[in-house]
Amino acid sequence: MVIVGIKLDLVESVKKLAEVSMKYDFDIDVKSEKYMVSAKSILGVMGIASNKVMELRIEASAQEAEKFLTEISEMLVGNPAQG
């Protein structure tokens, strides 16, 4: 698992995250305090999105996750960690 911080401060960011996530077969989740939803769900992510940094959890190898993270790099905060 790869874990990285993400900030979704615009509706366009949420939409792009969901669209990019849908291209990948592995699980990608967004965690905000006590809630966790699939990054592939626009409504789910919008329900927990805030101006705060949230946790993006990617259930994939580091190599697979790297491709995904490159596509959403403008939303990332900090460096990825292996979980």
Query: Which domain, by its residues, includes 40?
Result: 2-82
The enclosing domain of 26 has a CATH number of 3.30.1340.10
| Dmax (CA) of the chain | 30
Q: β-strand 54-58 against 35-38: which pairing, if any?
A: unpaired
Q: What is the count of structural domains for the chain?
A: 1
What phi and psi values does residue 33 have, to the nearest 5 degrees? 50, -105
pLDDT of residue 81: 67
pLDDT tens across the length of the chain (83 residues): 999 999 998 899 999 999 999 999 999 999 998 899 999 999 999 999 888 899 999 999 989 999 999 999 999 998 776 65
